[in-house]
Structure 1
Amino acid sequence: MNFNGIISAMVTPMTKDQEVNEAVSRQLTDHLIRSGIHGIFILGTNGEFHVLTPEEKVTLARCVVDEVKGRVPVIVGTGANSTKETIEMSLKMEEEGVDALSVITPYFIAPTQKEIVQHYERIAVSTILPILIYNIPSRTGVDLEEETVAELAKIPNIAGIKDSSGRFENIKQYIKVTQKEDFSVLAGTDSLILSTLQAGGTGAIASTSNMLPELVVSIYNSWKEGNEEEARRAQDNLQPLRDTFGYGTLPSVLKKAVELYGIPVGPPRAPVSELNGEALEKVKEMVAYYKGVSAEGVFRG
């Protein structure tokens, strides 16, 4: 499997009682696909995988797979802090009919690069599904070295990497050391989508697509069509949304923005709180801006 295009890092809709909202999960999934998204990625960082039970994860995956109905690939985060738990969840997701797995590096314990390679090797041989490595050192305390990625890229069903380090140098080096392999390098930081494509990457797993799927997809489509000026304009138009992310704990800002824009994805799960006060007003201003420019035909979000 090749990971290409814009894959939406979908938030996990919840009810006011903080239970997974299956009805809105279906609504959001269908909306994203109809907006041109090339794939759905659930149970990532913005999907709050770290606060969901194993049962909730399987239920959400079953719901999304059923709603997608083969229209786009479904990639599911199964990474945990132990190899054993990761394998167990990966096998459950394989049974649910997902198309690929995303496996975050172990966190909290900061394993060595050799231990990380062994971790992924054991997971890879346990499943028939393609695996996407997920590097997000700001959350895990572990940064994948280019030599490690080069070694992992030789494993047949390790098919790519999502880099959310925010360091473009990381992405460039991953592309360089894996160019002889059938391996995808995707941006996990939405400000680097176009830069990643220009450097030889294959796309992005983008959280901003929850609110502005058509705009984010237009970055990729314009670039593929050779219109880099339009791609750059679309990339720049994401910044007002990204500028608000610091107003709350992840993913409170994004979930509120999506809700204000029209999909009732509900609150984050505690201990993360919903936005209020000045932070909420700033997000409301940002959403009003996008609704305004969309109504004027500047872009469709």
Structure 2
Amino acid sequence: MCAFKLSEITGVIPALVTPFDENENLDEARMRSIVEFLIGRGINGLYLTGSTGEAFMMTLEERKRALEVVVDQVKGRIPVIAHIGAISTRLSIELAQHAEKAGADALSSVPPFYWGFSQDQVIGYYTDITNSTNLPMIAYNVPLAGLFGFDMIKRLSEIKGVEGIKYTAPTHFEIMRIKAEIGKDFIIYSGADEMAMSGLSFGADGIIGSFYNLIPETFLGIYDAVKSGDMARAKDLQETANAIIFFSLSRNPIAAIKRGMAWLGADAGYCRKPFGNFYDAESEAKLKEDFRGLKRDRGLTGVAFLDAL
């Protein structure tokens, strides 16, 4: 039985990076280290093997093992959400049933993609998965896999076991509509890092994102500021976050996140190809210098990985 109800899984939830070593092998020691690093910095949960976690470049066995390692390291201190998305319903069910046995608190999945599945086929996908376990499902609304319209989200919410959505789309007015028309108990996670303030202000229960691995203190501040009604503070923090996000996007962002974590003593390893990496000292030194320039030019303060440079 899971330790946390979905309604209890709120706040700032990093979409956890997956550490690989120099030879692209899953690095369990680094995985344990970054889990401790993030828990120590006050994050409220972890979202595993999603897009940021490079799930679609991992085998099923690697995805299972990554979850086992994280659940073992977390030991019930914070909630763990397992992303089990795959194009094949059968593979997703295998991952979902494993996640339940391993001790995950909730499931999440992108819809099946690539072949342009019909709405009925997508509904069938989520129905089959939720029928296979007792864990709550968080549907994933993301452009890479095809965005859901409101009517489709409403259909998904009617599936027994689908209790929330990870909403990674800019149409945040729909968050307000979901809460009003589907119900306040349908849990919404805002999934666009650069719009965390917006998602929360429109009613999201929590935020899930990539850069929460690197700058959790900034997003924890945004969450607290919005919840307390200090929108000026939230805006300042979002501007800081966005400066770092947009600066990183042209510099192999997942690899940059991993290197930035390493500068704080939480080495998150490397990415799998075809993602780029900062393997050699020269390229990493250039990345550091670029971030020093960003800090200086934008006057950024209170960002731990920049202060460590």
Letter of the structure 2 residue corresponding to residue 102 of structure 1: S
Letter of the structure 2 residue corresponding to residue 293 of structure 1: T
SS of residue in 1 equivalent to 2:212: helix
Deviates more, 1:255-264 or 1:274-283: 274-283
Once the 2 structures are TM-superposed, how far is the Cα of residue 153 of structure 1 from its aligned partner? 1.3
Note if contact 1:147-1:177 (Cα within 8 Å) is conserved in structure 2.
no
Please give the per-residue CA displacement for 1:141-170, whole angstroms capped at 9, x wherever unaligned: x21111111121123421211122344345
Please give the per-residue CA displacement for 1:52-99, whole angstroms capped at 9, x wherever unaligned: 111111111111001111111000110100111111110011110111
Match of 2:62 in 1: 56
Once the 2 structures are TM-superposed, how far is the Cα of residue 278 of structure 1 from its aligned partner? 8.0
Change (3 A) 1:115 1:234: same
1:155 aligns with 2:163: no
Identity of aligned pairs, percent? Answer: 28
Change (3 A) 1:146 1:209: same
Change (3 A) 1:206 1:191: same
Match of 1:204 in 2: 207
SS of residue in 1 equivalent to 2:138: strand
Letter of the structure 1 residue corresponding to residue 286 of structure 2: E
Aligned to 1:92, which of 95, 98, 101?
Answer: 98
Superposed counterparts of 1:14-53, under 5 Å: 14-53=20-59
Aligned to 2:193, which of 190, 195, 206?
Answer: 190
Superposed counterparts of 1:136-175, under 5 Å: 136-137=142-143, 139-140=144-145, 142-175=146-179
Change (3 A) 1:278 1:174: farther
Note if contact 1:76-1:102 (Cα within 8 Å) is conserved in structure 2.
yes
Distance 2:96 2:303 in 1: 43
Note if contact 1:248-1:279 (Cα within 8 Å) is conserved in structure 2.
no
Distance 1:236 1:268 in 2: 27
Change (3 A) 1:255 1:173: farther
Letter of the structure 2 residue corresponding to residue 35 of structure 1: R
* Number of residue pairs matched by the alignment: 296
Note if contact 2:163-2:187 (Cα within 8 Å) is conserved in structure 1.
yes
Which residues of structure 1 form unaligned runs of 5+?
none
Match of 2:257 in 1: 254
Deviates more, 1:202-211 or 1:161-170: 161-170
1:222 aligns with 2:225: yes
SS of residue in 1 equivalent to 2:237: helix
SS of residue in 2 equivalent to 1:28: helix
Note if contact 1:244-1:283 (Cα within 8 Å) is conserved in structure 2.
no
Give the TM-score, by structure 1 length.
0.89
Change (3 A) 1:176 1:113: farther
Superposed counterparts of 1:101-120, under 5 Å: 101-120=107-126
Please give the per-residue CA displacement for 1:251-289, whole angstroms capped at 9, x wherever unaligned: 233223333444211211112221488897356422675
Letter of the structure 2 residue corresponding to residue 16 of structure 1: E
Give the TM-score, by structure 2 length.
0.87
Aligned to 2:236, which of 233, 236, 243?
Answer: 233
Q: CA RMSD in A?
A: 2.6
Change (3 A) 1:43 1:168: same
Match of 1:285 in 2: 290
